[in-house]
Amino acid sequence: MTARNAAAFVSSVLTLVACGGGAASQPTPTSDRSTCDVSFVTPPGFERTDTFEEPYPDRVGVRLGFRDEAGRELHAFAGIRGEFGEGLPDAGTVVLATGRIGRLAGGIHRVWVLAWDEGGPCDPRVVLGRGFDRRAFLETLERAGVVAV
């Protein structure tokens, strides 16, 4: 699979997420709503590329984007509804740094999705990675404070 096809796949995943809430149809954030916290430490070698906020009636969902020099991408989400990992094969479960269990999907086009809930309005929590094999994705998430060491 070419890099262009993989990029198109990631773009379609992000489009599904972005279309899920429709920021244009949502109310403007007020002090009544809290902004979701993305518990994600920028891993060594990655730089933040973007921040996106999606207002909902009860919260403001957040997506943070990161990229390294090799072109690998990470996108960390909190409180944004979407079809995360739709169509990707199940790859088992992973113990998170918090002790919770996350669902891992992926491998196709070197795209991985780790998703979990924490039981609040900022669920689901998701990290999407592109350009990784399974081991490198999980090692990067360890350095980001998401996956248990």
- Looking at residues 118-145, what average pLDDT do you find? 97
| Gap between the Cα atoms of 13 and 128, Å rounded | 9
User: 8 pLDDT band (50/70/90 cuts)?
Assistant: very low
Read off φ and ψ for residue 38, nearest 5 degrees.
-95, 105
137: alpha, beta or left? (left if phi > 0; alpha if psi -120 to 50): alpha
pLDDT digits (tens, 9 = 90+) for 76-119: 999 999 999 999 999 999 999 999 999 999 999 999 999 999 99
For residue 39, pLDDT beyond 80: yes
Burial of 44 by CB count in 10 Å (0-12 exposed, 13-18 middle, 19+ buried)? exposed
Whether the model clears a pTM of 0.85, i.e. scores above it, the answer is no
In sequence order, the β-bridge partners of residue 147 are 96
Grouping H, G, I as helix, E, B as strand and the rest as coil, residue 87 is coil
Give the other-Cβ count within 10 Å of 24's Cβ: 5
- Cβ proximity of 74 and 118 under 8 Å: no
User: 32 pLDDT band (50/70/90 cuts)?
Assistant: confident
- Average pLDDT value over all residues in the chain: 86
- Looking at residues 119-143, what average pLDDT do you find? 97
pLDDT for 28 equals 52
Both structure tokens of 35: 């902004």
